[in-house]
Structure 1
Amino acid sequence: MATDRHIRPEFARNMRLVGYSDQAGRSDGVQVMVERGHAYVGHMFSKGFSVIDVRDPANPRAAAYVAAPPNTWNIHLQTHGDLLLVIEAKDMFAASIFQDERAYYTGSLGEKVGTAAPQQASGGRDWTAGLSVYDISRPEAPRKIGFMPVDGGGIHRIWYTGGRWAYVSALLDGFTDYIFMTVDMSDPTRPVEAGRFWLEGMNAAAGERPSWTSGRRFGLHHAIVHGDVAYAAWRDAGMVLIDVKDRHAPRKIVHRNWSPPFGGGTHNCLPLPDRDLIVVLDEAVLDNLEDGLKHIWVMDAREISNPISIATFPVPREIDYARKGGHFGPHNLHENRPGSFVNSNLVFATYQNAGIRVFDIANPYRPEEIAAFVPPTPARLMDHRPDRPHVVQSSDVFVDASGLIYATDYNAGLYILEMT
């Protein structure tokens, strides 16, 4: 534990530190969920996930760690009630081909992993691929109760807010990259695939051929589902809205892509249905703005089949973050999950080497930054890839119903913050 007496941010405005955890030395984190006073953190490099007791947010305490299967990632997860859903996928950043991150973020991932070729046998793969389900009625002792295997590289990210349906991005045999899949959770001990959707050109096994250039990543990061619409972030393919009224047969409503001229990497599509808006975030994926300046966009979605960009969020400029090193630009949004802090005017984002940012979009044509917190340089690097810069890389942000802000980092632990 550390308090604001021990940790000094590089920059802070209208936001203060409440508590800190190095996650029992596993200070790398990707997705974070907070459920009933416990934070669940997926690790990028520590081979599993951790549970942090945050019932006293000023004194968070590591409560549990669950190791991943060999050569497997547990970077993303979802909680609801007594259930925790965790992805199982090939540990991409442990593979020699992806030690230079350009290889991961450009081109067909399925071809590089070896899953796109339909004739390739799955035997001999040394990772676990699928969706794990845990009982977290005792948060300090997660108990695995279910698993849905998939043939391929595995699952990347999940959307699950309880009930029958979960939604995942999956790298499957025969496809060039991650596609959209619906999952029936009627029996949490036996989740089963229900339906699939992909962009034409991704199904290599069926003879489809990409219409995009070879250096592009046309793969689903994940979708947020509201009602019968999935708002899907498709990396270099932009945003795809999918009708999921029939969960067994999802169908396209509209596909919008602004890359080129902009740099791609679409990571979140957050619907604000009460305002007929969508907030769309493009992830910065390469160091020193090599992939260009990325934006957070405001889309007018009054006509769901014709979403239109009406604004971009302001870019942090207290210092020259592009020269700081590492990734500068948006990474993730707080996604207004039921039971968390839900607000259609305030948008919380991680900005990697520029920390955590809060924006007010009461006027959707003029988003305004109202708070920021840039953590200090990490004590050490958990990132084992060569030549990684020693700078903060704020990864995910979650805001609980009381307004406390939880932020992870690839190297720097879990920060618990509040707006002032």
Structure 2
Amino acid sequence: MSDLPRPDFARNMRLIGHSDQGGRADGLQIMVQRGHAYIAHPWSGGFSVLDVRDPTRPRPVLFVPAPPETWTIHLQAHEDLLLVVNARDLFADAAFADERVYYGRSVGDTIGTAGGGAARARSWTAGVTIYDIAVPDAPRQIGFFPIEGIGAHRVWYVGGRYAYVSALIDGFTDYILVIVDLANPTKPVEAGRFWIPGMNRAAGETPSWPENRRYALHHALVADNIAYGCWRDGGLTIVDVADPSAPKLVTHRNWSPPYGGGTHSPLPLHDRGLLVVADEAVLDHEEDGRKHTWIFDIREPSNPVSISTLPTPDEADYVAKEGHFGPHNLHENRPGSFVSSTLIFATYQNAGIRAFDISDPYRPRETGAFVPAGPTRMVDRRPGRPAVIQSTDVFVDAAGLLYAIDYNAGLSIIEYGG
């Protein structure tokens, strides 16, 4: 289609559809189900539903605004349920105008909630909103899981009784794992929680890590009752959650230092005894160091061994390019989506979307790349952010189409060459 934006770079991938998401071109997480895309906005304050049954002509059909002063930046869709996080909009807070503050120390300490009390009267909504999406383009709220604190950051839910939530609760230094019982989705309740010792300041715990390191659960993926948690500068935890009321640590690994932290996205491949883990690049020009996507051998869960890293994009000087360069999210092999234990899809921020073949996990190779055109309009309201692509998330549907979103540049629907 001649009216599609021309990508900055493409290899073995082709753009077939694009949308500015109804004028709200910002996105942080995307789910595609039953021919509809659910996109969480970091700046526009809410989430959108797009009809993508014709992937060459994605059509916005609904925008659901967030409550006042509230982030709804991540979501999960499975069968008839949609779970949307609610948390204080931290990027609207002047204290976090400099990214180094947000990524460089405990959020609870920065805003004064780690000691056990809220820094000020809560004017935002904190928790997880639960919608019925039996009618895909008409989400209907049926439940809410409240959190006494800043709120939820991200959720893992692929059906069944439990959802796994990263939550910042008053009294903790930063986000921890909270397991939510959805036996009755109209009345969700907490089943259990897990944190790294030192995070529960209200209980008298003292962090063992330096003040300029951020130990915070970004999110955990769960497979076969094992939760793989990424804790930013706190590294990786493998936790047995067979008893949700009493999660048990199997092992904790942290490669920061010497590496730069930011451990962000896990992807267990249990059929092969492998785990893929991406460290997020959080500062421009690799100021936080070169970030990698690691492959671990987890045949012995108590002793994960790093055996390789995915290749770093190098067809252009992405370090010199404005914005963040490096890993962010991984396609997560969700039920009903494209599932593979040898083909990995990932976002690399200013280097766009990448595909990797890990048939030989010791020698992974890149097999496709797509760097979308830069934004025509900035939605990111933070001062001084550059107008370049910052690909944030990618979802691959069962037919193999890629749905990629960006901080400012809308939805790209991409065909992979295989």
| TM-score computed with the length of structure 2 as normaliser | 0.99
The one of 395, 400, 404 equivalent to 2:397 is 400
Matching of residue 166 in structure 1 with residue 166 in structure 2: no
- CA shift, 1:408, in A, is 0.6
CA contact (8 A) 1:4 1:18 kept: no
- The answer to whether residue 280 in structure 2 is matched with residue 265 in structure 1 is no
| Structure 2 counterparts to residues 18-417 of structure 1, below 5 A | 18-118=16-116, 120-121=117-118, 124-417=121-414
SS of aligned partner of 2:202: helix
Look up the equivalent residue of 1:416 and give its one-letter code.
I
313-322 or 108-117: which moved more? 108-117
Q: Deviations over 1:238-275 (max 9, x none)?
A: 11000001011111000000000000101111100000
CA deviation map 1:351-404 (0-9, x unaligned) = 000000000000000110000000011101101111101100000011011101
CA contact (8 A) 2:111 2:119 kept: no
Q: CA separation of 1:4/1:185 partners in 2, compared to 1, >3 Å: closer, same or farther?
A: farther
Q: CA deviation at 1:121?
A: 4.5
Q: Contact 2:20/2:410 (CA < 8 Å) preserved in 1?
A: yes
3-state DSSP of counterpart to 1:386: coil
Cα distance, 1:114–1:401 mapped onto 2, change above 3 Å = same
CA–CA distance in structure 2, aligned partners of residues 284 and 224 of structure 1: 20
Deviation at residue 113 of structure 1 after TM alignment: 2.5
Secondary structure (helix, strand or coil) at the match of 2:232 reads: coil
* 2:348 alignment partner, SS class: strand
Once the two structures are overlaid, the 10-residue window that deviates more, 130-139 or 216-225, is 130-139
SS of structure 2 residue aligned to 1:352: coil
C-alpha contact 1:4 1:17 (8 A) present in aligned 2 = no
1:312-362, Cα deviation, whole Å (9 max, x unpaired): 111111111011110000110001111110100000000000000000000
Alpha-carbon contact 2:176-2:217 (below 8 Å) kept: yes
SS in structure 1 of the partner of residue 413 of structure 2? strand
- Contact 2:198/2:205 (8 A) holds in 1: yes
Gaps in structure 1 of 5+ consecutive residues: none
1:197 maps to amino acid = F
Which deviates more from structure 2 when the two are superposed, residues 140-149 or residues 173-182? 140-149
CA contact (8 A) 2:338 2:399 kept: yes
Residue 5 of structure 1: CA displacement?
Answer: 4.4
Cα distance, 1:22 vs structure 2: 0.5
Preserved CA contact (<8 Å) 2:349 2:391: yes
The residue number in structure 2 matching 1:13 is: 11
Kept after mapping to 2: 8 A contact 1:4/1:19: no
Q: 1:140 deviation in Å?
A: 2.0
SS of alignment partner, residue 405 of structure 1: strand
Distance 2:46 2:266 in 1: 27
| Aligned partner letter, 2:107 | L
Provide the identity percentage. 63
Compute the TM-score of the two structures, normalised by the length of structure 1.
0.98
The answer to whether the 8 Å contact 1:122/1:151 transfers is no
State the distance in 2 between where 1:319 and 1:245 align: 46
**Closer, same or farther: CA 349–4 of 1 in aligned 2, 3 Å:** farther
CA gap 1:123/1:103 in 2 versus in 1, 3 angstroms: closer
Query: Structure 2 counterpart of 1:145, which letter?
Result: I
Aligned partners of 1:34, 1:6: CA distance in 2, in Å? Answer: 21
Indicate if the aligned counterparts of 1:16 and 1:417 stay in contact, CA closer than 8 A.
yes
- Give the aligned CA root-mean-square deviation in angstroms: 0.9
For residues 230 and 151 of structure 2, the distance between their equivalents in structure 1, rounded to whole angstroms, comes to: 18
Aligned length: 417
Structure 2 segments unaligned to the other structure (5+ residues): none
> Deviation per CA, 1:132-155, whole angstroms, max 9, x where unpaired?
001112222211110011100000
- Tell me: CA distance 1:196–1:184, structure 2 relative to 1, closer, same or farther (3 Å): same
In structure 1, what is the Cα distance between the partners aligned to 2:218 and 2:111?
Answer: 16
